[in-house]
């Protein structure tokens, strides 16, 4: 089965998405997600200039060989742009292979280990009271896992609590990145107060999660992790930037609060030490950033040896295509943990008809062949690309910080 053409479709049904569509000489096509939020056009250029020309005529069935050809053949390995391009191609090729076998993707991977996958959704508030109200509402809507974030009193809204990361609300379509203000000193005592109030309000049979979004040092995380132990979090996410993987040893020495890391990782090497030294409990790699289905399968199988479970990243900037690939992997995976699912705009659902569906606090794959997601190019044409930036963060004294 030869690749005859590859299209890159860029559209913004509420936020920008980069979609790869691979056509074959047997009439089958597959689609993949290659979106890097805030740097979309870099991936488009990489695909159009350096990937598509060398794939035309290749055998679409040789997924692994094409993955290695694009990874090793570039010479300059790894990185978010390269790996998103490889991911988009890989997801599309797995879509084609499952369609050719007339099976849903999870069947090709090894069949179902579960019928539905547990998800978590986001709640953010400007005050603790607002966040508690939001979590109660999610609980009443049937959610069994909820991420809770709160703004810092006296500062403008921080990550996860304001419109700055919501392109649909105009939060990201800016000439320049929005600048947020951060204070570790004011944040550290606030979060345990939030989770005490949350446990008082919703009790213990709901999983509570929190995302620190790369902003602390290991010893600050050790302090926060200890302070949160009475509230039994499902996890504390991205407490520390993880370029120095060994630095998580310090966190492990001080706290039993579970740690989740990995949404910004794009290869197994980014997480090899964190997993093999059991410095984390959940690995957050997702199909669009970590090498597609091929990349996820490799990382999650490695993680299973070390008691580390999956937790695919799934905010609004991971498209319904990557969400489809994720949910099929989630359904098969023996060491499945949880699937993030922030939901999408109506325009996004219209642009990407999908077999996967939300059922309360869970997602189901559906039984469509392939990953079960398509793209409506007529709808895509109604939502042209808009340059958009993720926010940046500065400490109160102006020092650049992790956002």
Residues that bind Mg ion (CB under 5 A): 211, 263
Residue 281 contact partner, candidates ligand CS2, Mg ion, none, CB within 5 to 8 A by sort of partner: none
Maximum Cα–Cα distance across the chain: 61
| 74, 76, 79, 85: CA torsion to nearest 10 | -10
- Beta carbon nearer to Mg ion, 196 or 342: 342
- Beta carbon nearer to ligand CS2, 324 or 370: 324
Q: Output the DSSP codes for 281-304.
A: SEE---TTTTTHHHHHHHHHHHHH
Q: Given 122, 213, 328, 383, which residue is catalytic?
A: 213
Q: How far is the CB of 237 from Mg ion (least distance, A)?
A: 5
Strand order in the sheet with 29-33: 3-11, 17-24, 29-33
Residues 176-202 as b/e (b if ≥16 CB within 10 A, e otherwise) read ebbebbbbbeebbeebbebbebbbeeb
Site residues for ligand CS2, window 141-180 (CB under 6 A)? 165
Who's near 339: CB < 8 A, 6+ residues apart? 117, 118, 119, 120, 311, 312, 314, 326, 327, 330, 363
Residue 328 contact partner, candidates ligand CS2, Mg ion, none, CB within 5 to 8 A by sort of partner: none
Identify whether 389 is a catalytic site residue: no
Site residues for ligand CS2, window 199-218 (CB under 6 A)? 211, 213
Count residues binding ligand CS2 (CB under 6 A): 9
Who's near 95: CB < 8 A, 6+ residues apart? 30, 31, 32, 105, 325, 370, 371, 373
Q: How far is the CB of 340 from Mg ion (least distance, A)?
A: 8
Site residues for ligand CS2, window 31-90 (CB under 6 A)? 37
Residue 317 contact partner, candidates ligand CS2, Mg ion, none, CB within 5 to 8 A by sort of partner: ligand CS2
Q: Given 46, 106, 120, 159, which residue is catalytic?
A: 159
- Beta carbon nearer to Mg ion, 343 or 384: 343
**Of the candidate residues 317, 338, 344, 368, the single one contacting ligand CS2 (CB under 6 A):** 317
Q: How far is the CB of 55 from ligand CS2 (least distance, A)?
A: 27
Distance CA 8, CA 19 (A): 6
Who's near 321: CB < 8 A, 6+ residues apart? 19, 31, 32, 33, 91, 288, 352, 371, 373, 375
Q: How far is the CB of 329 from ligand CS2 (least distance, A)?
A: 18
By CB under 6 A, tell whether 220 contacts ligand CS2: no
CA separation, residue 339 to residues 20, 118, 251, 332 (Å): 23, 6, 24, 13
Bridge partners of 400?
A: 394
Identify whether 213 is a catalytic site residue: yes
Distance CA 60, CA 217 (A): 45
By CB under 6 A, tell whether 379 contacts ligand CS2: no
Q: How far is the CB of 390 from ligand CS2 (least distance, A)?
A: 6
User: Does an H or E element contain 4, and which?
Assistant: strand 3-11
Per-residue contact track with ligand CS2, 381 to 400, x per CB under 6 A? ---------x----------
- Beta carbon nearer to ligand CS2, 107 or 287: 287
Q: How far is the CB of 122 from ligand CS2 (least distance, A)?
A: 7
Catalytic residues: 159, 213
Q: Which residues make up the interface to ligand CS2 (CB under 6 A)?
A: 37, 165, 211, 213, 263, 315, 317, 340, 390
């Amino acid at each position: 089965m030869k690749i005859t053409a590859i299209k890159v479709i860029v559209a913004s049904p509420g936020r920008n998405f980069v979609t790869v569509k691979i056509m074959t000489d047997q009439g089958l096509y597959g689609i993949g997600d290659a979106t890097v939020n805030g740097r979309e056009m870099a991936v488009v250029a990489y695909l159009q200039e350096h990937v598509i020309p060398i794939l035309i005529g290749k055998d679409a069935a040789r997924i692994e060989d094409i993955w290695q050809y694009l990874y090793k053949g570039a010479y300059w390995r790894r990185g978010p742009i390269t790996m998103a391009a490889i991911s988009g191609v890989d997801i599309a090729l797995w879509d084609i292979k499952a369609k050719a076998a007339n099976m849903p993707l999870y069947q090709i991977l090894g069949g179902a280990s579960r019928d539905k996958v547990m998800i978590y959704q986001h709640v953010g508030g400007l005050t603790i009271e607002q966040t508690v109200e939001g979590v109660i509402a999610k609980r009443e809507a049937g959610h069994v896992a909820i991420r809770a974030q709160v703004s810092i009193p006296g500062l403008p809204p921080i990550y996860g609590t304001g419109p700055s990361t919501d392109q649909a609300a105009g939060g990201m379509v800016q000439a320049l990145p929005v600048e947020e203000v951060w204070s570790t000193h004011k944040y550290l005592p606030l979060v345990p107060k939030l989770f005490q109030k949350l446990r008082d309000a919703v009790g213990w049979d709901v999983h509570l999660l929190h995302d620190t979004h790369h902003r602390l040092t290991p010893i600050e995380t050790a302090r926060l992790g200890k302070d949160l132990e009475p509230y039994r979090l499902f996890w504390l996410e991205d407490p520390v930037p993880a370029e120095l993987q060994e630095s998580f040893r310090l966190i492990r020495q001080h706290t039993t609060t579970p740690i989740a890391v990995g949404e910004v990782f794009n290869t197994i090497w980014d997480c090899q030490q964190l997993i093999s030294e059991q410095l984390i409990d959940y690995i957050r790699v997702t199909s669009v950033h970590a090498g597609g289905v091929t990349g996820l399968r490799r990382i999650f199988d490695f993680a299973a040896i070390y008691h580390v479970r999956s937790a695919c990243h799934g905010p609004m900037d991971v498209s319904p295509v990557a969400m489809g690939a994720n949910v099929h992997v989630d359904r098969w995976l023996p060491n499945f943990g949880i699937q993030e699912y922030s939901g999408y705009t109506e325009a996004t659902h219209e642009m990407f008809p999908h077999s996967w569906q939300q059922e309360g606090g869970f997602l189901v794959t559906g039984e469509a062949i392939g990953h079960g997601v398509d793209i409506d190019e007529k709808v895509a044409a109604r939502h042209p690309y808009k340059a958009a930036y993720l926010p940046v963060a500065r400490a109160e004294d102006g020092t650049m910080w992790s956002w």
